Chain A
Amino acid sequence: SQKIEQNSEALNIQEGKTATLTCNYTNYSPAYLQWYRQDPGRGPVFLLLIRENEKEKRKERLKVTFDTTLKQSLFHITASQPADSATYLCALTYSSASKIIFGSGTRLSIRP
């Protein structure tokens, strides 16, 4: 079965630096790879979606890359701020349906 692995350890970054989160998957490539943000006590919030034929996607300070050879996506937050502290979830969607598989998430802390 398909597995998704994200940084299991929490990531602590100094404010202003670039935070980089990793999402690795096994087996076949998804049609879409997505990143969500989740704050404590709230539901996940969609951030970015990248398709398998796209290499990179940007939105403001966020950048996502998708390497189907490495079976990996990287999620970057540039000029990080304490308000970026949250858990970030990677999710895969396959073309056959809208079924989505989530990774376990990486907790990111940005210290002032």
Chain B
Amino acid sequence: DAGVIQSPRHEVTEMGQEVTLRCKPISGHDYLFWYRQTMMRGLELLIYFNNNVPIDDSGMPEDRFSAKMPNASFSTLKIQPSEPRDSAVYFCASSRGTSGKQFFGPGTRLTVL
């Protein structure tokens, strides 16, 4: 199994640009999570999906952030427009059922100049 796949691994962009992060969960997993990690705030849950349906997006910082999961094998997290304070590592994770055990991807390191 390839594990959770994220792309790109690194993204450098300028303030105001649109950024799209991509995630492919582990096949057979029905939960998908998007996290953001910074030194100051640690690992924060942004949004999670169950069977492609968004369940809780209360962690999404503001309207500039949006996430979609068009099918069981693909999800995107979009930031439009991006700001320097969005610079962080963004992780995608997936799990099977409500076991709680999550498998994380390698993360996307986003730098907004």
Contact = CB atoms under 8 A, between A and B. Distances in A.
Interface of A: 31-32, 34, 41-46, 49, 89, 93, 95, 97-105
B42 interface: yes
B98 A98 contact: yes
Nearest to B41: A104
B12 interface: no
Given A41-B107, A43-B4, A99-B48, 7 more contacts: A43-B105, A97-B55, A98-B31, A98-B50, A100-B33, A100-B45, A100-B102
Nearest to A46: B101
A87 to B, nearest CB: 10
B69 to A, nearest CB: 15
Contacts of A45: 104
Report the interface size class on chain B.
20 to 34
B111 to A, nearest CB: 14
Contact of B42 (A34, A93, A100, A102): A102
B10 to A, nearest CB: 11
A63 to B, nearest CB: 18
A12 B24 CA distance: 37
Q: What are the 5 A-B residue pairs with the smallest beta carbon separation, nearest first?
A: A43-B104, A93-B100, A104-B42, A102-B43, A32-B100
Interface string B95-110: 1001111111111000
Contacts of B107: 41-43
10 contacts: A31-B100, A42-B107, A43-B4, A44-B43, A49-B100, A93-B100, A97-B56, A98-B50, A105-B42, A105-B43
